Amino acid sequence: MTNLSINLNKVALLRNSRSFGIPSVIKAAYTCIQAGAHGITVHPRPDARHIKSEDVYELAKMLTVEFNIEGNPSSQFLKIIRDVKPTQCTLVPDAPNAFTSDHGWNLVTNGFWLKPIIQELKELGIRVSLFLDTDLNQIKLAKEIGADRIELYTEPYATAFRNNEVKSVFQKYQQAANKAQEMGLGVNAGHDLNLHNLEKFCSIPNILEVSIGHALIADAIELGLFNAVKEYLKIISPN
């Protein structure tokens, strides 16, 4: 079974364009949970342009589903993680001024300093996932430095799907997922997955979780948030 974790960053981005708290990130989380979402994802960035640190703490108080917090492990980010102790922490190699996540870790150059961070988070009882491309060597290194899961960066898949050139790219994701699973790593996925491309991607066996934000929130403008979540759940849990 594939779990659906809803990324609420875009709800916070819209809220931040005004000063009176509408729309509410907390109310959005409640709606997603009521619709059947298995988890909530947030990605607090240093400039707080969408999710703010106070959102993370408030969500931690009310969530009855898995909480996944994404981000580059800066000192500020790690303080939040230590305080909140989410179900899962997804480490992402974002630069402070990154527009959005656009590549996975290079663990050849970053693995040595990520390893003790991963160890500490696991000792706190937090599942650790690393944001990766489909490079098989990076997956091998992720296992070596102690990650529990990887999250495959799916923008290249989404782009290939839009361009009707998905076959060879999809094979890379299949191979990457298979390699990770053979090594005992769980496999998550996220970035630009939507109602059109999600079904094919989830035909890869044993994808544990997909994290979806931008497309789902965009669909919610037409469908309503509750109904949008239901539409995504139909795809990943058709029975």
Catalytic residues: 43, 70, 191
Please list, in sequence order, all residues whose beta carbon lies within 8 angstroms of the beta carbon of residue 46, skipping any fewer than 6 positions away: 74, 76, 96
Burial bucket for residue 16 (CB in 10 Å: 0-12, 13-18, 19+)? middle
DSSP, collapsed to helix, strand or coil, labels residue 24 as coil
* Omega cis (within 30) before 23: yes
Q: Tell me the HSE value of 235 on the side-chain side, using a 13 A CA sphere.
A: 21
Do the Cβ atoms of 36 and 233 come closer than 8 Å? yes
Q: Report the C-alpha gap between 5 and 190 in whole angstroms.
A: 10
